[in-house]
């Protein structure tokens, strides 16, 4: 029974190479290169593999001594997971990281580090850090203050409502006092502010006006 040959992936837009073009062509290095990654054969060009000069793949196709064996078709044997090699090869082709929704970025990062593809490593790490920051963000909290003031102070109170503070409720507490010849009512003013927090603490400190509101709240 004949053993089936590994699956071959060809670079889009390119014609198939002549049979047996797995490594050297007659008289020198050929344009096409076969890579047998974990049993799956990838077919691409030497120009693609040499896109990152310091990478393992660039050194391999330039003939440096990397101790890489070949299979019966002449393809370079690389003992790595072929699942994550596709995105790496495509990155060398067009400079973009494209992943299936179920593909783990950690796996692609591991392979990118093995092949020493610096730009791809930085892109993946930046994406992972951005996701971690989004996940660890703390939902905003609401801080409430109850301020006691006289009727004549309400206008001044409105003018100091800044830095995100807003009125929630105004309650007439029913007491009054004489101010000169006029009776003045007293109120409880409920204000609130939304604070956005991060894993490292509050995003901003209370301003001078916020502290003023807090100080007024101690009159309760």
User: pLDDT digits over 151-169, tens only?
Assistant: 777 777 767 676 677 778 8
- Residue ranges for the chain with pLDDT beneath 70: 1-30, 63-67, 133-139, 158, 160, 162-163, 174-183, 196-220
Instruction: Say what the pTM is.
Output: 0.51
For 166-205, give one letter per residue: b (16+ CB within 10 A) or e.
eeeeeeeeeeeeeeeeeeeebbebebebeeeeeeeeeeee
């Amino acid at each position: 029974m004949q053993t089936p040959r590994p699956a071959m992936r060809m670079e889009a837009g390119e014609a198939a190479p002549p049979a047996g073009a797995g490594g050297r062509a007659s008289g020198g290095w050929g344009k096409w290169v076969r890579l047998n990654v974990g049993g799956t054969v990838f077919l691409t060009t030497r120009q693609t593999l040499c896109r990152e000069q310091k990478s393992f793949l660039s050194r391999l196709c330039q003939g440096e001594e990397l101790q890489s064996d070949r299979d019966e078709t002449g393809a370079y044997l690389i003992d790595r997971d072929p699942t994550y090699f596709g995105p790496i090869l495509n990155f060398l082709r067009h400079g973009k990281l494209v992943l299936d929704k179920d593909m783990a970025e950690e796996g692609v990062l591991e392979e990118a580090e093995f092949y020493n593809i610096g730009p791809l490593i930085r892109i993946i790490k930046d994406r992972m850090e951005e996701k971690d920051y989004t996940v660890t963000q703390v939902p905003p909290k609401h801080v409430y203050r109850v301020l006691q003031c006289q009727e004549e102070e309400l206008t001044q109170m409105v003018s100091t409502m800044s830095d995100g503070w807003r009125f929630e409720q105004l309650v007439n507490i029913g007491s009054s006092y004489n101010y000169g010849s006029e009776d003045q009512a007293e109120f409880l003013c409920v204000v609130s502010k939304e604070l956005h927090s991060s894993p490292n603490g509050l995003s901003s400190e209370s301003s001078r006006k916020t502290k003023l509101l807090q100080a007024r709240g101690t009159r309760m």
